[in-house]
Amino acid sequence: MFHMKLLVDTDPDTRLSRRVLRDTKERGRDLDQILNMYTSHAKPAFKEFCLPTKKYADMIIPRGADNSVAIDPTVQNI
């Protein structure tokens, strides 16, 4: 288990909504700033750097943190 590579996969809508909530509350940004940054930087960077690593994962956990069926047993074995 110590050498297992995990990828927690979250759908793009969830990633964007979390970013909007975080950036408005914690960083004081408005929606236009957030969407501009997301479309011009975050989304392309995800496609270029994060998405390609998916093929190296031993286990892909879909639906991110909402997937307790997959996450709970994995955490118990760490």
Name the average pLDDT for the chain.
88
Name the residue range of residue 57's domain.
Answer: 6-76
Q: Is the pLDDT of residue 19 over 60?
A: yes
DSSP state of 58: S
Give domain status of residue 29, yes or no.
yes
- Residue 60: strand pairing partners: 7
- How much is the pLDDT for 65? 67
Counted domains in the chain: 1
Residue type, 29: R
Residue type, 17: S
Asked whether the beta carbons of 29 and 23 are under 8 A apart, the reply is: yes
Residue 24's Cβ-side half-sphere holds a number of Cα atoms within 13 Å equal to 10
Q: pLDDT per residue over 50-68, tens digit each?
A: 999 999 998 888 876 677 7
- pTM tops 0.75: no
- Residue 59: strand pairing partners: 6
- How much is the pLDDT for 2? 67
Region 15-39: what's the mean pLDDT? 97
Give domain status of residue 1, yes or no.
no
Give domain status of residue 14, yes or no.
yes
Give domain status of residue 21, yes or no.
yes
